[in-house]
Amino acid sequence: MKILVTGAQGMLGQDLVPLLREYGHTVVGTGHAELDVTDGASVRAALELHRPELVIQSAAYTNVDGCESNRLDAFRVNGLGTRLLAIGCQQLGAPLMYLSTDYVFDGTGDRPYIEIDRTNPQSVYGQSKLAGEQAVQELLNQFFIVRTSWLYGRGGKNFVDTMRTLGREKPELAVVGDQHGSPTWTVALSHALARLIERGIYGTYHVTGQGATTWHDFTRAILAAEGIATPVRPITTAELGRPAPRPAYSVLENLNLQLAGVPLLPSWQESLETYLAQTRAVVR
């Protein structure tokens, strides 16, 4: 299948594009400079040139705190950009796969969210990503909306690399212990996306590493695996005082993935081990 991926130079895009090729697809990976999703003419030109059979919208304004002070830009990229792509897909008759986030939920629950649970984003980032979901739902009847969470991968600056570097440099780390979620490795996510495309059952999906943790316990696992003895002190979200509100509990049950017969991702611990083993030599 011919697939066009937006945001191909992003963290997910850098693992997704080569992996889709391994699955036998012809992939056009477009970076920001080649395809600006907020520019209707740029979107039209790219879709007319490549005529993909599926578009994956991975481009996004992902700076969660930055979105709070740049609301218009966040909605322009995540909302309008996705809408323009959906219109392009409509004209082409091609399905769209849209990457969304656990931050569409408010995080006040105490059990994993399923796909039909009520969304109620608290941050501008979450709201703008939900605007993207709504554009896809309004304009297309052949789409995948894929909500994922806490991504890390070798194609971008990420939490795992930051913590193993800081763990070596600092005498102590203070990390938020009251947010619960599921770390997800971009490679494991990419495999699930490829399998979802093969299954062809359109709809909304939660796709995350299995199991849940806090940023604090995640950090402890990273340092333990690396043999770093630096103590990690739990702090509260309020103590950290970031501009954007984060959900306290945004664990996603991957219910529809199971129903579609797509294998669940490995546990977050297993993927972390693999990622650390693969990248150890590079970061050291």
Ligand X SMILES: NC(=O)c1ccc[n+]([C@@H]2O[C@H](COP(=O)([O-])OP(=O)(O)OC[C@H]3O[C@@H](n4cnc5c(N)ncnc54)[C@H](OP(=O)(O)O)[C@@H]3O)[C@@H](O)[C@H]2O)c1
In the complex, the residues that contact ligand X under the rule CB under 6 A are 6-7, 9-13, 32, 35-38, 58-62, 77, 81, 99, 101, 129, 148-151, 156
Q: Which is nearer to ligand X, 132 or 167 (CB)?
A: 132
Q: What 3-state DSSP class applies to 33?
A: coil
Both tokens of 83, joined, read: 């809408």
For residues 55 and 5, give the distance between their C-alpha atoms in angstroms, rounded to a whole number.
6
Least Å from the CB of residue 77 to ligand X: 5
Least Å from the CB of residue 193 to ligand X: 11
107: left (phi over 0), alpha (psi -120 to 50) or beta: left
Q: Which is nearer to ligand X, 35 or 188 (CB)?
A: 35
Q: Which is nearer to ligand X, 58 or 256 (CB)?
A: 58
Least Å from the CB of residue 53 to ligand X: 20
For residues 104 and 91, give the distance between their C-alpha atoms in angstroms, rounded to a whole number.
28
For residues 129 and 136, give the distance between their C-alpha atoms in angstroms, rounded to a whole number.
11
Both tokens of 12, joined, read: 């997910």
Q: What 3-state DSSP class applies to 228?
A: coil
Q: Which phi and psi angles does 176 have, rounded to 5°?
A: -60, 130
Q: Which is nearer to ligand X, 60 or 86 (CB)?
A: 60
Least Å from the CB of residue 108 to ligand X: 19
Whether 125 is a known active-site residue: answer yes
Q: Which is nearer to ligand X, 115 or 230 (CB)?
A: 115
Q: Nearest to ligand X by Cβ — which residue?
A: 10
Least Å from the CB of residue 231 to ligand X: 26
Q: What 3-state DSSP class applies to 81?
A: helix
Determine contact, residues 95/137, Cβ cutoff 8 Å: no
Please name the residues in contact with 221: beta carbons below 8 A apart, sequence gap of 6 or more.
213, 269, 272
Determine contact, residues 123/64, Cβ cutoff 8 Å: yes
Q: Which is nearer to ligand X, 70 or 230 (CB)?
A: 70
Please give the angle made by the CA atoms of 263, 268 and 270, to the nearest 5 degrees: 85
Catalytic residue selected from 125, 152, 205, 249: 125
Kindly provide the residue ranges of all beta strands, DSSP E only, lying in the chain, ordered along the sequence: 2-6, 26-29, 54-57, 96-101, 143-148, 151-152, 173-176, 180-181, 184-185, 203-206, 213-214, 232-235
Least Å from the CB of residue 162 to ligand X: 13
Enzyme catalytic residues: 125
